[in-house]
Amino acid sequence: MTWTVKLSVILASVLIAFGLGLGAGWKLYKTKPLPPTVVQPEPPIIMHDSSVVIQRVYVPAAKPKMEVPTGDTVEEQGTLDVQPSTSPEGTPPTSGSDPKAAGQPPTSPCPPVKIDWAVLTEPDGGKRVQFKVENGSIVGTPEDIVVRPPAPVGHSLAWSAGCSRYVREKTYGVWLSRTAGPFVVGAEVKQSRADFGSGRTSIDAALRLGIQF
């Protein structure tokens, strides 16, 4: 088997592996188109446990209602008006208070509370939820419990492979490189045509060393 045939076999193998890698990546990470219903306005839904699925309205040009962390973008936002419930037992007695008056309900209900909320997208694609209470403060330690299945987590690609076409010599080559921090190292095996008139070719190799910037 001549060097030309060997190089052709190597080149075909690299191209096949490259195509299989592209196909697997497309199959794993492709985004399925969403149906038209997901961009249509929806009315609110009141559930049996008094929870509310809030209405959906699309306002693409809406500005953020809160100060968001640097680099984050607002994906969804809205406002809730909450009316706190008063206890029918009234306020428990405190030291120095009248026990008879302590059991009486308050003369006026608690004022409604307005809550602004937003769903944020972080620079790395992660999601966060943000709240703001007007005329009040958020107490305790709120949690954002992620229930959706995790999406495929990408990883940095370190290896690269490909082929070269040398126009003047009318020859081919295959190369392989790897990224290591800021450096790029690689090697190439190619056909070399020393005498253009004879059409004879030989095999040459090259080493590569570079830096990313």
The per-residue pLDDT for range 46-59, each reduced to its tens digit, is: 999 989 998 999 88
* pLDDT for 130: 93
Residues with Cβ within 8 Å of residue 41, at least 6 apart in sequence: 55, 56, 57, 58
Strands 73-82 and 52-53, by their bridges, are unpaired
Residue of 48 and 16 predicted with greater confidence:
48
Q: What is the mean pLDDT of the chain?
A: 78
Report whether 159 contacts 178 (CB < 8 A): yes
Residue 89 in this model has a pLDDT that exceeds 60: no
Provide the pLDDT confidence category of residue 77 given band limits of 50, 70 and 90: very high
Contacts of 176 (CB under 8 A, 6+ apart): 159, 160, 161, 186, 187, 188
DSSP lists the bridge partners of residue 81 as 114
pLDDT number for residue 45: 92
Tens of pLDDT, residue by residue over 117-175, are: 999 999 988 889 999 998 888 888 888 888 877 666 666 778 888 888 888 778 888 88
Question: Residue 190, class by beta-carbon neighbours within 10 Å (0-12 exposed, 13-18 middle, 19+ buried)?
Answer: buried
pLDDT confidence of residue 182: 85
Alpha carbons within 13 A on the beta-carbon side of 154? 11
**pLDDT score of 62 more than 60:** yes
Beta bridge partners of 159: 178
Q: Residue 72: pLDDT above 90?
A: yes
Share of the chain above pLDDT 70, in %: 69
pLDDT(17) > 70 = no
